[in-house]
Structure 1
Amino acid sequence: MTARTSGLHHVTAIAGDPQRNIDFYIQGLGLRLVKRTVNFDDPSTYHLYYGDEAGRPGTLMTFFPWRGVPAGRVGAGQSTSTAFSVPQDSLGWWKDHFGALGVEPSITSADGEDRLVVRDPDGLVLELVASSTEDPRDPWDSASVPAEHAVRGQHSSVLTVADAESTLRVLIEDLGMTPVSQSGGRTRVAAGEGGPGRIIDVVADPRAQRGLTAGGTVHHIAFRVPDQATQEQWRRELVERGHTVTAILDRQYFTSIYFREPGGVLFEIATDAPGFDVDEPLLELGRSLKLPPWLEPTREDIEHSVQRITLPQENNPAVVDR
């Protein structure tokens, strides 16, 4: 393959109540809601994007929230854990912070890195990693989390599969990632120069039950590509290598292609551009419901179908409902 990913673009998961999701990711994790839009394939529900100030690729966590969605099952064929990068020596602060919110985290160590493990309100497994590698990314200046402890962006994702060999082959040969380490049934690969935001851990667990994608599970993970021309080239090469790949889809803030790797995990390749400020100013990101041009004619129906939500004050200087 001639194309190589530069790292993670975003992770998308399934949630239940959107207000509960917003409160946790803004006040709990200290992220910014950078876009309030809808699921383009099901406009009756939101698509919520969280990240840094501008929603830069590599900082993004996104959700499809469906009220009343049944709980999923975490297992083989899924991304089973999503990790965020935080500064060294900050995990004690985070433990106290989550404790004050009634969330009970645990602190573990893996790959020489200390990790705080917590579940969001839908049971999604999250990790905060005090990485031994310095993370130069600037955090969102949140009222709930001081900058010296704040999330810098994605750190890594864990993929659990029954047989790691074919999954690793896709990551290395088709996405251009490089093997970093291997211990037991866990193999780490990295994009580019490695470090936070560029890491995938593949866990081989032949005894794991097949995962069921629903509430509290990851729907897909997305990898970065700089522009659509590179994406088109990459799509051609993936098809030539035998993958079933979607057409290029317009997601308004980037374009995407999707394919499922042999272990069952759904992969997306998303462009860095144009970004989240194409339809609202940087200072107003996330404050109102934004729709792509092809859904604007049905705005009134969509606004009546989605749940009314309120943003915590720290997301923006001024808060408005939809």
Structure 2
Amino acid sequence: MSDRIGGLHHITLCTGSAQGDIDLFYKTLGMSLVKRTLLYDGGAPIYHLYFGNETGDPGTLTTVFPFRRDGRKAKRGAGQIELCSYSVPKGAVPYWKERLTERGVPIVKVYERFGQQIIQFEHPDCGLNFELVEETADDRKPFVGGDVPPEHAIRGFHNWTVLTRDNEDMDIFMKDAWNYRELGADGAFTRYAVEGGKAAHIIDVHLQPDARPGSWFYGEGMIHHGAFAVPNLDVQHQVKLEVEGMGLTDFSDRKHRGYFESIYVRTPGGALFEATHSLGFDVDEAADRLGQEVIVSPQFRDRRDQIVTELNDPFELN
């Protein structure tokens, strides 16, 4: 099977309120608000907000569905991505510990995994956990928002961590279906990577046999899926054929997501993975005005003004 799955592209979270996400990702972590649009699935108008670097490059994009207004709560647990970890420069953890504390963001722990210093913290509005990982070999440009000094700023993703109760089949999937290679283990964590394991090309699988199963439906308080880059639609189609040829037929047809063409597979470990090809964020908004207008998804286009009013999830950037 050919090497065709690339690095981490974007991750999608089901959170609480839009303001809570603005406060954490935009104001505290220094991400740019790249897009304001709506959830493509279903009929209820739910925001889909995109945070990342200034241009929303793959490997930097955290997207959120603020689901509190829908009233549905999700259960975190096995069968999900449990952690989204971002890359920061060596020595940045003390700065972030002080900044997060000052802004009321709960710190879960400061620890070491795979020889790297990590600070883990909690989303104050919905309880999801995130990490900042000190990475010496990440030369991507720093994020520029939130008055975070460039020498401490986030560069993009470092890795994601999948929580599973049994890693045997997930190990086969990561190697044979997703062309990621095992780099080693640290306690209950097994690390897989492409391109030698540079930042935004790493998946950790966390084995916890007694973990309770997590939700797969949309609801506040869970990471819904993680998307991986593929170079073109022909390769994406080949991925689907090859993975289904392994007997893993829980694979969606191609879905148009406005800025991506995407296919989704339920992995043996339970986590939902996406293979996606970017179409660009300037297809419906000028490059120098990204994130300034609410772009409605097709099912709402004929009543845009009404839908924007019905969203009833206001937020302020200042």
Smaller-chain TM-score range?
over 0.9
1:35 is matched with: 35
CA–CA separation in structure 2 for the residues paired with 1:207 and 1:138 = 40
CA–CA separation in structure 2 for the residues paired with 1:308 and 1:126 = 23
1:275 is matched with: 280
1:301 is matched with: 306
How far did residue 58 of structure 1 move? 0.8
- Identity over aligned pairs, percent: 36
The answer on 1:19 being equivalent to 2:23 is: no
How far did residue 294 of structure 1 move? 5.5
Q: What TM-score does the superposition give when structure 1 sets the normalisation length?
A: 0.92
Which 4+ residue blocks in structure 1 deviate beyond 6 angstroms? none
Contact 2:38 2:297 in 1 (8 A): no
2:202 is matched with: 199
How far did residue 290 of structure 1 move? 1.0
Size of the aligned set, in residue pairs, is 311
1:157 is matched with: 160
CA–CA separation in structure 2 for the residues paired with 1:233 and 1:142 = 39
CA–CA separation in structure 1 for the residues paired with 2:39 and 2:142 = 27
How far did residue 100 of structure 1 move? 1.1
CA–CA separation in structure 2 for the residues paired with 1:143 and 1:13 = 21
Q: Which of 112, 115, 120 is 1:117 aligned to? A: 120
CA–CA separation in structure 2 for the residues paired with 1:36 and 1:239 = 34
Partner of 2:45, secondary structure, is strand
How far did residue 292 of structure 1 move? 4.2
Q: Which of 291, 304, 308 is 1:286 aligned to? A: 291
Q: What TM-score does the superposition give when structure 2 sets the normalisation length?
A: 0.93
CA–CA separation in structure 2 for the residues paired with 1:19 and 1:34 = 15
Partner of 1:277, secondary structure, is helix
Unaligned 5+ runs, structure 1:
314-322
Contact 1:34 1:51 in 2 (8 A): yes
1:49 is matched with: 50
CA–CA separation in structure 2 for the residues paired with 1:97 and 1:297 = 44
Contact 1:18 1:309 in 2 (8 A): yes
Distance 1:295 1:70, change over 3 A: closer
Larger CA deviation: 185-194 vs 286-295: 286-295
2:81 is matched with: 79
Measured against aligned partners, the alpha-carbon deviations of 1:224-251 in whole angstroms (never above 9, x if no partner) come to: 1112121112112222222221111001
The 5-angstrom pairing of residues 248-263 of structure 1 reads: 248-263=254-269
The 5-angstrom pairing of residues 124-163 of structure 1 reads: 124-132=128-136, 134-163=137-166
CA–CA separation in structure 2 for the residues paired with 1:303 and 1:251 = 19
Measured against aligned partners, the alpha-carbon deviations of 1:149-171 in whole angstroms (never above 9, x if no partner) come to: 11100110111111101111111
Larger CA deviation: 242-251 vs 136-145: 136-145
Measured against aligned partners, the alpha-carbon deviations of 1:165-199 in whole angstroms (never above 9, x if no partner) come to: 11111111111111101233321000123211011
Larger CA deviation: 103-112 vs 32-41: 103-112
CA–CA separation in structure 2 for the residues paired with 1:70 and 1:113 = 36
The answer on 1:312 being equivalent to 2:317 is: yes
Contact 2:28 2:100 in 1 (8 A): yes
CA–CA separation in structure 2 for the residues paired with 1:216 and 1:172 = 29
Aligned alpha-carbon RMSD (Å): 1.6
The answer on 1:99 being equivalent to 2:107 is: no
